[in-house]
Amino acid sequence: MAPSITSRIGKVLAVPAVALGLTVGVASAPAQAAVWSSCDQWGNTTLNGYTLYNNIWGSGAGGQCVWANSGTNWGTWANHPNTGGIKSYPNAKKVINKPIDSLRSLTSSYKVAVPSAGAYNTSYDIWDTDYDYEIMLWVNQYGPVGPLGSPQGTVNLGGHTWNVHKGDNGANEVFSFLRTSNSTSGTVDILPILDWIKDTKGWMGNETIGDVQFGYEITSSSGGLDFRTDNLTVSSS
């Protein structure tokens, strides 16, 4: 039987043994990691109401360390080979646990510093509590990366203009919103995006939103690259 490890959405999945062929703990976290750091594959902690995950979940991954001064100021160093396939999604998570129709607001602000090398996207990963639906909001991307599914047009929602894709990975439906131009800082009004998916398109019902994650979906970062979150806030009411 293949070993079981926790996937990036927090479920336990059976995966091929090759997925465990990781080289972790090969580099030190940056000196600014004053509060917490980890080079463990599934290293995690909770700070200021946010949960930080190192989250090296893809096969063929290299070394990666995550550090945090707080739940809203953190970063990662990653050295993943120049091969295809997502290697990791280091992220900070805020738990919402409210049905869409019960939300009066759901907003987030971000400010990041990302490299001009490798292959990655900086994205929100938003899940319902049953993990049936995944909503990804890409605020920037670099290199040969792309979303799952087929194009669904362009929309202006939540203060940004997005190219929308809709797909299915076999476990859940995936709605990907790719910002039409890269951004390293801004504010996203998430609730109108959820309402558009639910009410305008009818792609899902009144789901209970569980996790709002924000991080870096890294495919390659050969030689070691730094990704820094200078500020992140997720607020709901």
The pLDDT of residue 34 is 65
The pLDDT of residue 14 is 32
* Closest of 123, 114, 108 to residue 187, by C-alpha: 108
CB 68 within 8 A of CB 33: yes
CA separation for the pair 193, 158 (Å, rounded): 6
Backbone angles phi, psi at 147, to 5 degrees: -85, 165
What does the buried/exposed string (b/e) look like for 183-220 if buried means 16 or more CB atoms within 10 Å of the residue's CB?
A: beeeebebbbbbebbbeeeeebeebbbbbbbbbbbbbb
CA separation for the pair 178, 185 (Å, rounded): 15
For the entire predicted model, the pTM comes to: 0.88
The pLDDT of residue 100 is 98
Q: Which CATH superfamily hosts domain 4-236?
A: Glycoside hydrolase family 11/12, catalytic domain (2.60.120.180)
The pLDDT of residue 11 is 37
The pLDDT of residue 51 is 98
CA separation for the pair 137, 163 (Å, rounded): 10
Beta-bridge mates of residue 168: 173
| pLDDT per 10-residue tile (average), the chain, 237 residues | 38 34 43 78 97 97 97 97 97 98 98 98 98 98 97 98 97 97 98 98 98 98 98 97
Handedness of CA 106, 145, 140, 66 (dihedral sign): positive
